[in-house]
Amino acid sequence: MYGRKSCQLLRELASAEPGQIPTFNNDLFDQVMKECTEHQFQLQSLMRKIQDEGLDIQTTRNEDHFGAVVHHLSLIRNKRCLMAYMYNRAEIIQGLRWKLGPVLPQEIQEKLNYLEEEYFKNHSAAIESYMAELDLDLTVDMVPPKDPYIQVKVLDDIGEVLLGDQSATLVRHSVHSLRRTDAEPFISQGLMEEFLG
């Protein structure tokens, strides 16, 4: 039955947890692309057959016409499903940039195909460029904090880093008082957490 594979691709995406991205299904995606190519070939073949018989394509209503309509509509459906698959994955990838920052964890990178990785890099570069142009960090909390400094606990050895106008050595299980803007990238990457007491 035409369109089942493209529908399966979308069901796979919809079954993932909200905000989570499933592994890109190259095999199924390629099968849908091959089905589109086959529909295109069949459509062109039927259109040529109608023309070769000297019939008017606009007014002919025979089995070749209806076969061409079926292939045309199947082709459109598959294309729409592929576009929906890619669009929804792109939206999730954009959301990951705001949640996790400019560096994706390895387990998420493994779920993306090459073009999606490039999309993430280009999207991150565009955001970074925009923030640099405005001299404003858009990734910081939308609600202004009461204190610009927070207590953080380092979860993994990070080493010597430059934080604003000072350098600090961040070793595992150490507690530091840092500016929120300096700590946010490390918190989003899971390298430190806010220490509440």
pLDDT at 11 over 70: yes
Query: Same domain, yes or no, for 115 and 175?
Result: no
- Domain limit, last residue, from 109, 134, 159: 134
- Domain limit, last residue, from 134, 157, 185: 134
Residue count of the chain = 197
The pLDDT of residue 141 is 65
The pLDDT of residue 190 is 87
More confident residue, 96 or 61: 96
In a domain, 70, yes or no: yes
- Domain limit, last residue, from 134, 164, 180: 134
Which residue in 95, 82, 142 sits closest to 123, CA to CA?
95
Least confident of 4-18, 139-153, 169-183: 139-153
Query: Same domain, yes or no, for 19 and 92?
Result: yes
Tell me: the pLDDT tens digits for 25-41? 999 999 999 999 999 99
Query: Same domain, yes or no, for 129 and 160?
Result: no
What number is the average pLDDT over the span 158-177?
86
The pLDDT of residue 100 is 86
Count of domains for the chain: 2
The pLDDT of residue 18 is 87
- Residue 187 structural domain: 149-194
Query: Same domain, yes or no, for 38 and 123?
Result: yes
Query: Same domain, yes or no, for 178 and 111?
Result: no
Mean pLDDT of the chain: 88
pLDDT at 150 over 70: yes
- Give the C-alpha separation, 182 to 97, whole Å: 17
Query: Same domain, yes or no, for 70 and 21?
Result: yes
Query: Same domain, yes or no, for 91 and 32?
Result: yes
- Sign of the CA dihedral with 86 first, then 87, 92, and 94 last: positive
In a domain, 143, yes or no: no
* Structure tokens that stand for 20 in this block: 């989570």
Helix pair angle (26-52, 63-100), 10° resolution: 150
Query: Same domain, yes or no, for 157 and 115?
Result: no
Query: Same domain, yes or no, for 76 and 172?
Result: no
* Structure tokens that stand for 95 in this block: 């959301």
Query: Same domain, yes or no, for 15 and 103?
Result: yes
Share of the chain above pLDDT 70, in %: 96
pLDDT at 154 over 70: yes
